[in-house]
Chains A and B, each alone.
Chain A
Amino acid sequence: MRREGWRRSLAMVGSQLYYEQLAFWRNPFKAGFTVGFSLVFLVLLAAVGGTGRIAVYHVRSVQFYVPNFAAYGVMSASFNLLAISLVGRRETGQLKRLRLTPLPSWVMLAAVSLSALVVAVVQVVLLVAVGWLAFGLRLPGDPLPLLLAVVVGALAFVPLGVAASALVPNEEAAGPMLSIAFFVLLFISGLWFPLQPHSVLAEISGWFPFRRLMLAMQAPFLTASGLQVSPWSWRNLGVVMIWGVASAAVAVRLFRFEPHRA
């Protein structure tokens, strides 16, 4: 009986995930911008960097930009896009309507999180493929540290996105509010340029999960470039996870199903 219940719940998550994915990839602007943004930046920065070495790390620039934009891909899917989409669903009454059906709320949230993970993985695979094919990216010997960072990142940024969505008052504000906060944090976290360790920016952004996820995803690629660093970045992933757990607690308290204007 209990097993049947689980099977049914899993089937519901699977079905909901299918429709989430369908709706995501059918929206040409959303899908195109999400995937295109990181690819365009990677291509531009890697092309400008050429075969030269990047400051601070002294590795070829592609070894730095691929993991950074892969981290960006994970964060944009799980945090930024997710929060904007949740605000939209809340303000148009979709969440309220869902609340009045037998679909458990956790199934909806699980499907939305998994959907973000799928979009994140697609981006990571694309970025790594383009980096490898076009710019001679050296691949990590062991894919597990990278995979772990992607999964931990996606799962930790989802509750952060849910919590952020609760702080945004309406649909019109969602894009600007969330994107400004997101890109400022990415900028000071060193997405586009490497930060000197112990610099003011590095110290400040080190408190936030954005920089920590980038560092965790860089590690396997730096190892692949021959730097003497561990590909397993436990400390960085730990900070990301703490943010995930803390924001989950906040998200549970703040999450609302009904539009603010009502």
Chain B
Amino acid sequence: MAAIVVEGLAKRYGSVRAVEDVSFTVEAGEVFALLGPNGAGKTTTLEVLEGFRARDEGRVEVLGLDPGDPAGSRELRRRMGVVLQELAVESFLTVREVLARNAGYFPSPRDVDEVIETVGLTEKANARVTRLSGGQMRRLDLGLGIVGNPELLFLDEPTTGFDPSARRDAWEVVRRLATGGTTVVLTTHYMDEAEALAQHVAVISAGRIVADGRPETLAGRDEAEAVVRFRLPDTVPAAELPVQPSRLIEGGLVELRTTDAVGVLHRLTGWALERGVPLAGLTCERLTLEDVYLRLTGYLAAEQEP
């Protein structure tokens, strides 16, 4: 069953087209990542789905409800959790008080102490929000997003500004929620985050979806050319290689591009073993998600890929 269906969504601010003809589907229980540069329309899309912003065109269904309709939006707010980019918490209350207050807004909230433990703030439970570090504040933010026991959680750049260990902790929380059946929609511009968490990614650029799929197959990433590189000794002429090199670089460095990495490597290494030629520094690389992303968002032209 689909948790979110978006078809032909458009949103304009005056004459600026923030989002144009955006369509995608998020299955229930899936972690979905919306990737894109700043200003691409990620937050606008999220705000439309959350029912915070009215759309201009298109069909949007979230948990079977229309977030653009007041009654649908009211019902949706009971069943979703939201973590915004801003750190927006009343500073003179304690961690436990803030969470307990917000838990009271929901029909069947999570246990407050369990939430505190989940986001790793047990030692700070009775500390005022003003005494929290930036990372702890973001964790409280995440706690506020999940305290209502949501079926669907929106995370707008959840780990921006986190140190590496705090990011891993946040990922762990998201993974645990997903295992528990919560559908998670997140925006990020960290490709490793999308790869680590999401089963489904879409790339948005200049208000349009430019790719949609599994992170490991996005934009034909798995079928694109792999690049094989190695160093050939001076004594062996390149012409003797069993496969035609795409490029010869100074110092004996050879580069091969192929869509058949297995076949090429087999022939190459078989030949090398037979002839006793060391293929120093042999590597075989595929496009990373980041390469695909940079290409899709127009930062890298296709021929500049590694």
Contact = CB atoms under 8 A, between A and B. Distances in A.
A16 B86 contact: no
B82 A94 contact: no
B77 interface: yes
Contacts of A16: 101
B109 to A, nearest CB: 10
Interface string A89-127: 100111011011111000000000000000000000000
B105 A102 contact: yes
Contact of B104 (A15, A22, A26): A15
Contacts of A257: 52
Contacts of B105: 12, 101-103
B86 A93 contact: yes
B89 interface: yes
A129 B67 CA distance: 53
Interface residues of B, number: 28
Interface residues of A, number: 23
Contacts of B50: 100
Given A97-B84, A102-B106, A23 B90 contact: yes
Interface in B52-97: 52, 74, 77-78, 80, 82, 84-93, 97
B102 interface: yes
B77 A101 contact: yes
A92 B93 contact: no
B158 interface: no
Contacts of A228: none
Interface string A8-22: 000010011001001
Given A22-B97, A96-B84, A102 B77 contact: yes
B104 A99 contact: no
B187 to A, nearest CB: 15
B148 interface: yes
B101 A15 contact: yes
A94 B101 CA distance: 14
A225 to B, nearest CB: 41
22 contacts: A12-B104, A16-B101, A19-B90, A19-B93, A22-B93, A23-B93, A26-B93, A92-B87, A92-B88, A93-B88, A94-B89, A96-B52, A96-B86, A96-B88, A97-B86, A97-B88, A97-B144, A100-B51, A102-B77, A102-B105, A102-B106, A102-B148
Interface of A: 12, 15-16, 19, 22-24, 26-27, 89, 92-94, 96-97, 99-103, 257-259
Given A16-B101, A97-B86, 15 more contacts: A23-B91, A23-B92, A92-B86, A92-B88, A93-B86, A93-B88, A97-B82, A100-B80, A101-B77, A101-B82, A101-B102, A101-B105, A102-B105, A258-B52, A259-B86
